[in-house]
Amino acid sequence: MAGLLALALAPAALAQDGLSVPHERYQLDNGLDVVLAPDTSNPIVHVQLWYHVGSKDEAQGLTGFAHLFEHLMFQGSANSPGEYFTPLQAVGAAINGTTNSDRTNYFETVPAHELPLALFMESDRMGNLLPVLDQAKLDNQREVVRNERRQRYENPPYGEAFADLMAMMFPEGHPYHHPTIGSHLDLQNASLDDVKAFFRTWYVPNNATLTVVGDFDPAQARTLIAEQFGWIPRGADPTPITAPPVVLPEPVVDIQTDKVPDAKVWIAWHAPALHAPGDAEMDAVASLMCNGKDARLQQTVVKETRIARDLACFQYSRELGSAFIVQATAAEGHTTDEVVDAVMAGFATLVDGQPPAAEEVQAATASFESGFYERLATIQGKAGALSSYLYFQDDPDWLQEDLDRYLALTPEAVRSAAAAVVGAPHVALHIRPAPPADVATEGGAE
């Protein structure tokens, strides 16, 4: 049995006056972080494996690799050839994976007695993927990804809007400038050696977190994990990707015409990073300005003046820097320029004329608090929370601290955060219907 570096040998007790998930955390000698959280409410187990790599960690000219591996990791490994799904689906498992700019995760929910199978499958593709990764698999899956890019980004109306917005916000060379799915050119030019080198850098046990939640015996799970993952060699510690905050000297505006049914606009500002001071406050700004029929911009821009047909806003929180985004559809007879002016006027009122009322902040706080409890109602939600907090805070049980950010919100703190964010230069992307003769033909470009 591989040696264990114990970080918390006894499950954490549920705090009497705080939000917590009973768990234990330890680390294998090869650096794999492990979190175990028994939950006997149902005879199932959920396994999550997070790799601390996302599209932000890709080099220029080699984009899309993190998402490409989300596909390649399901193509079989040395001791389990064939589709990854096959043996797990045979026992009724639910399986998937996701990739974003900051991380990649893989997960499966299995009947409790199939935990050994789930752990074997995850360990084999961590330690034994490269021996069976060949040119044919790479060629096949890169075409799958390129087709996904066409279907999700290029062919649907407004499909590339978010990627264009991020490219406008973050300059070329910034880790967030390119979309997670990468570019056709980079995917097409990727060599097998390039792809394998990316895997060797990032998909190592000392750059991963394994979380197991559900109906299992902790002692048995520790033995299984040591057997299945302890043999995998530690890799070189990857260099964390960093980037200074982006400050726009002036507004950036792009007006596009395309074959779309309506005129839409996306307005975005740079905002505090995930978990940083001001991040929770901007969640509250989104809530009181846009979320719900009584939200301020819903009342003024959609219902009263009817300048916009619909409107939404959200704080897009990320590790290296967030974006506060408003998106809206211009109503018939109105333009996206009018929408931008109305939105700006609404934020000016929030900051300078009518600051948040205590009742508005309390309503937002209550919504956030209920969301925390809803997330912990399932073993999948618990596993996601534990994995996320371990990754971003080095503390899987950072639940109460996270919730406290919202419980401590005050009207002045919300107003001040809004002033700092929306008082800075913004980015605006307008996409308007084009006359038939002027319709662009960019979709599916090579």
- DSSP β-bridge partners for residue 4: 28
How far apart, in whole angstroms, are the C-alpha atoms of residue 246 and residue 434? 33
Confidence at residue 15, expressed as pLDDT on a 0 to 100 scale = 42
Share of the chain above pLDDT 90, in %: 91
30 with 121, same domain: the answer is yes
Based on the fold, state whether residues 65 and 99 are members of the same structural domain.
Answer: yes
224 plus 342 within the same structural domain: no
Residue 201 in domain: yes
| Whether residues 74 and 180 fall in one domain | yes
Question: What integer is the mean pLDDT of 179-207?
Answer: 97
Residue 120 lies in a domain: yes
Q: Number of folded domains in the chain? A: 2
Q: What count of other Cβ atoms lies within 10 Å of the Cβ of residue 5?
A: 9
Specify the pLDDT at position 35.
98
- Domain termination residue (choose one: 171, 194, 229): 229
Q: 205 with 311, same domain?
A: no
Q: Is residue 167 part of a domain?
A: yes
On the question of pLDDT at 16 being above 70, the answer is no
What's the pLDDT score for residue 13? Answer: 35
| pLDDT value of residue 439 | 54
pLDDT at 186 over 50: yes
How does 231-259 read in b/e, with b if 16+ C-beta sit within 10 Å?
ebeebeeeeeeebeeeeeeeeeeeebebe
Report which of 96, 139, 88, 76 is spatially closest to residue 116, judged by C-alpha positions: 88
Domain boundary among 170, 197, 229: 229
Residues 147, 153: Cα–Cα separation, whole Å: 10
Q: How many residues can be counted in the chain? A: 446
Q: Are residues 293 and 356 in the same domain?
A: yes
Q: With 80 as the cut, is the pLDDT of residue 4 above it?
A: no
At 133, which CATH number?
3.30.830.10
Residues 292 and 426 in one domain: yes
Model confidence at 442: pLDDT above 50: no
Long-range Cβ contact pairs of 352-355 (< 8 A, separation 24 or more): 355/411, 355/412, 355/415
State yes or no: pLDDT of 3 exceeds 70.
no
Which of the four pLDDT bands, split at 50, 70 and 90, describes residue 39? Answer: very high
Domain for residue 65, yes or no?
Answer: yes
Average pLDDT of the segment spanning 418-435: 96
Whether residues 160 and 11 fall in one domain: yes
Examine the domain organization and report whether 152 and 264 are in the same domain.
Answer: no
Per-residue tokens: 318: 């990320």
Average pLDDT, integer, range 343-358: 95
In a domain, 239, yes or no: no
pLDDT of residue 292: 86
What share of the chain has pLDDT > 70, as a percent?
Answer: 94
pLDDT digits (tens, 9 = 90+) for 239-260: 999 999 999 999 999 999 999 9
Greater confidence (75 vs 436) lies with 75
- pLDDT tier at 438, thresholds 50, 70, 90: low
User: Can you tell me the distance from the alpha carbon of 112 to that of 42, in angstroms, rounded to the nearest whole number?
Assistant: 9
Containing domain of residue 421, as a range?
252-438
